[in-house]
Amino acid sequence: MWLVEEAKKNMPVELDFLNEGHNAEKVAGMLAHFPFLKVPMIHWDLSTKRILTMEFVDGGQINDKDYMKKHGINVNEISENLGKMYSEMIFVHGFVHCDPHPGNVLVRKCAHSKKSEIALLDHGLYQALIRGDMSGVERYSLRLGAGELYPLFACVVTSRSWTAVNAGISSVPVTSSEDVEIRNDAAQYLPQISQLLNRVPRQMLLLLKTNDLLRSIETILQTRSSSSHKRSKAQSMRRHLQITLAESLNLWRLSMYELFLWVSSSTVGHWLTTLLPFLHIGH
C-alpha cells in the first residue's frame, strides 16, 4: 500500500507538464555553471498542462557505448560529469532529477564547441532531499527509520553486499561474484526490502531509485570502479600516488562537510548565526 499511496501522490505531479517545464528551467539555471549540461528550452506559448513543447535535442542514450565510440565521446568523462551533476543536485541544492533512465539522459557532441554534452530530459518529478564505520552505518540508518533492518538499508543505499559494507566499500572493488550475491540476496530478502522501503522517508524512495539508475549506467559503461581497483590498474608509481592523494582529498572534503553540517545544526552554530548580524552592524 505504501507504494500505491506514493504513486497516487506523484502521478498527478508528473502529468502536469507546466510543472515539468518550470522544473526544467529551474535545473537549467541551477546548473548553468556546468558547460557539459544541456537542458532543452521550453516554448511556453505552445505549452499547456497537457502539452509541453520543448526544443528538440538529438543524441544517443547514455548507455549506448557504440554511439559514443562512433562519435568520439569519452565514456569516463561522461560518467564523471553525470556524477558531478547529480552530486550537486542532491548535496548542494536538494532539488533532484529523479528519473535518469537512459531514455531521459542523452549524450552528444555539441555542433559548435565539438565538446561532449549531457542532455537531461523529463523533469516531471523532482524531490528535495560512505568507510567501514559500522557504528556510524547503524546510527545514520536508524535516524532514517531503518530500525533493525539497518544492514539491509546500507546494502540498498550502496548497492554493495554486506561483506563489502563491513570491509569499507572504498577498499573493496566490485566483482561479478558480488553482483551475483546481491541479486540472490535481493530475491531472498524481498519481504524485508519491502518492509524497509515502507519505513524510510518518502523522499528517500526517489533518491534510492535515482541511485540505482545511475549505478546501472555506470555498470553498462564499465566506469564503476573503486580507488583500490584504479590503483591496481595503475602502471606507474606516479599514477598510483595521484589516485591515493585524490582519494585522501575527497575523504577530507567529506569530513569537513560533515563537520560543517554538525556545527551548523549545533547550539554553537545557532549562536554564531544569531551573533553574525550584530557583528556586521558593529563594523
Q: Is-contact 129 94, C-beta < 8 A? A: yes
Closest by Cα among 174, 171, 166, 155 to 212: 155
Strand 60-61 versus strand 105-109 pairing type: antiparallel
Residue 125 near residue 14, CB atoms below 8 Å? yes
Q: Which helix (H) or strand (E) is 181 found in, with range?
A: helix 176-188
Contacts of 249 (CB under 8 A, 6+ apart): none
The DSSP letter of residue 92 is: I
Residue with cell 552554530: 269
**Cell numbers at residue 236, please?**
606507474
Bridge-partner residues for 42, per DSSP? Answer: 54
Set of cell numbers at residue 47? 505549452
Distance CA(201)–CA(212), nearest Å, equals 17
- CA 174 to chain centroid, in Å, comes to 18
Q: Would strands 95-97 and 116-120 be described as parallel, antiparallel, or unpaired? A: unpaired
CA 277 to chain centre: 35
Q: Which residues participate in catalysis according to the annotation?
A: 99
